[in-house]
């Protein structure tokens, strides 16, 4: 009996060395091969160019593009990793949150592969994936931390007691931080996605040029709100002539960015103080923002607080992070069954745990 249990455990730990990650929740078609939870053998991300003229993601176009791109992207991930399909021990796929048609492309492809290869798969929460992108780069990290998830669809603060154990702290009441970047960029005719464009432009700007509102900063809660800021930028630019906007563009976007950054940094520091932890993890596309990283550094330099973030390629949507979160859960014995469905509104933790 005893022996059986030990060898079961060893078998368990030896398995899932090589996991294929698949991400199709929005407008990136991505596949990655991850060995032993942290050894990233390949990471292929194909960003769908079809949405650019629309200033945002068109769901129907996204699912169609995933259909065309996913198999070639998986093939490329295997090729770059020098791994064959038969060497895979498991598959991790994004189950939600995201666009239902896009999620279904990843999920049904995963089910077909898992059945034909006779290997297990797991549906992963996209937000947990973003958190795990930090563990990919800092494999030994296992401390209690505050995590700020800042993406195109989410702005949420969590306490992480242990890997995979979350407590909800706060979220945006309206627009997500990334959404605010995208909407302001669209308003100024800068293109999509707006975050990286504003990030680059703002480097030559004066962040104190216009004082835009910092919503909910005086408020006790750890919630956020960015729609008032977006309206304030709109009101400001509407009062200017085209030439004035062009001339001061870097200053305007830099001032907008500073307002977003100030609130994100301040609320995260409050959460850290409140919980008495010393670590902050940043996750999601906006975590790649240079001004944000700089501000965090400035504000924590004289405190015993460490801020962690993934490299930019792992901040925005990718399948490496899905493979990482999936490997962790597969190793713990978790599995999805073939009747698992896409979960477009999936939360990181159940509402009742909030």
Binding residues vs Zn ion (CB under 5 A): 151, 317
CA gap 323, 182 in Å, rounded: 27
Least spacing, CB of residue 129 vs ligand KG4, in Å: 9
Compute φ and ψ for 63, nearest 5 degrees: -65, -40
Q: Which residues contact 233 (CB under 8 A, 6 or more apart)?
A: 184, 187, 212, 252, 256
Least spacing, CB of residue 149 vs ligand KG4, in Å: 8
Q: Answer yes or no whether residue 346 interacts with ligand KG4 by CB under 6 A.
A: no
- Closest CB to ligand KG4 among residues 106, 288: 288
DSSP 190-214: --SSHHHHHHHHHTTS-TTSS----
Least spacing, CB of residue 309 vs ligand KG4, in Å: 11
Residue 316 interface partner, choices Zn ion, ligand KG4, none, CB cut-off 5-8 Å depending on type: ligand KG4
Least spacing, CB of residue 97 vs ligand KG4, in Å: 8
Contacting residue, 90, 285, 310, 326, with ligand KG4 by CB under 6 A: 285
Nearest Cα to 81, choosing from 34, 120, 47?
A: 34
Nearest Cα to 176, choosing from 190, 193, 155?
A: 155
Piece in contact with ligand KG4 (CB under 6 A), picked from 14-22, 63-71, 282-290, 340-348: 282-290
Helix (H, G, I), strand (E, B) or coil at 312: helix
CA gap 136, 229 in Å, rounded: 34
245-264 residues in contact with ligand KG4 (CB under 6 A) are none
Q: Answer yes or no whether residue 175 interacts with ligand KG4 by CB under 6 A.
A: no
Cβ atoms of 215 and 224 closer than 8 Å: yes
- Closest CB to Zn ion among residues 151, 155: 151
Place of tokens 């089910």: 111
CA gap 208, 194 in Å, rounded: 20
Q: Answer yes or no whether residue 106 interacts with ligand KG4 by CB under 6 A.
A: no
Residue 153 interface partner, choices ligand KG4, Zn ion, none, CB cut-off 5-8 Å depending on type: ligand KG4
Least spacing, CB of residue 129 vs Zn ion, in Å: 7
CA gap 130, 285 in Å, rounded: 9
Q: Answer yes or no whether residue 194 interacts with ligand KG4 by CB under 6 A.
A: yes
Helix (H, G, I), strand (E, B) or coil at 343: coil
CA gap 268, 156 in Å, rounded: 10
Look up residue 126 and give its DSSP letter.
H
Number of residues that bind ligand KG4 (CB under 6 A): 20
Piece in contact with ligand KG4 (CB under 6 A), picked from 149-157, 237-245, 248-256, 342-350: 149-157
How far, rounded to the nearest angstrom, does the alpha carbon of residue 329 sit from its chain's CA centroid?
18
Piece in contact with ligand KG4 (CB under 6 A), picked from 59-67, 74-82, 269-277, 284-292: 284-292
Least spacing, CB of residue 153 vs ligand KG4, in Å: 5
Piece in contact with ligand KG4 (CB under 6 A), picked from 10-18, 41-49, 86-94, 174-182: 174-182
Residues in touch with ligand KG4 (CB under 6 A): 26, 151-153, 178-179, 181-182, 193-196, 199, 284-286, 288-289, 316-317
């Amino acid at each position: 009996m005893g022996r059986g249990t030990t060898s079961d455990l060893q078998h368990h730990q030896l398995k899932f060395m090589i996991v294929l990650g698949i991400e199709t929740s929005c407008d990136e078609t991505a596949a990655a091969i991850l060995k032993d939870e942290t050894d990233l053998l390949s990471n292929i991300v194909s960003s769908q160019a079809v949405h650019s003229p629309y200033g945002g993601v068109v769901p129907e176009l996204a699912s169609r593009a995933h259909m065309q791109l996913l198999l070639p992207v998986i093939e490329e991930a295997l090729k770059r990793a020098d791994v064959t399909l038969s060497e895979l021990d498991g598959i991790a796929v994004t189950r939600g949150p995201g666009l239902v048609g896009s999620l279904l492309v990843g999920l049904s492809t995963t089910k077909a592969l898992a059945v034909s290869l006779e290997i297990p798969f797991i549906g992963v929460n996209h937000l947990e994936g973003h958190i795990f992108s930090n563990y990919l780069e800092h494999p030994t990290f296992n401390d209690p931390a505050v995590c700020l998830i800042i993406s195109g669809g989410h702005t949420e603060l969590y306490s992480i007691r242990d890997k995979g154990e979350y407590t909800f702290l706060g979220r945006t009441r309206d627009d997500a931080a990334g959404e605010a970047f995208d909407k302001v960029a669209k308003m100024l005719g800068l293109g999509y996605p707006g975050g990286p464009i504003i990030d680059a432009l703002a480097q030559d700007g004066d962040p104190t040029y216009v004082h835009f509102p910092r919503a909910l900063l005086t408020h006790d809660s750890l919630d956020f709100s960015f729609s008032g800021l977006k309206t304030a930028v709109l009101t400001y630019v509407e009062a200017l002539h085209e030439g004035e906007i062009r001339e001061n563009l870097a200053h305007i976007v830099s001032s907008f960015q500073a307002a977003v950054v100030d609130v994100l940094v301040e609320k995260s520091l409050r959460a850290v103080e409140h919980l008495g932890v010393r670590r902050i993890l940043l996750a999601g596309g906006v975590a790649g923002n240079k001004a944000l990283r700089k501000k965090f550094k400035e504000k924590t330099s004289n405190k015993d607080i460490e801020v962690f973030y993934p490299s930019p390629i792992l901040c925005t949507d990718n399948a490496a992070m899905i493979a990482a979160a999936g490997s962790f859960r597969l190793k713990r014995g978790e599995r999805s069954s073939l009747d698992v469905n896409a979960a477009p509104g999936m939360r990181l933790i159940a509402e009742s745990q909030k």
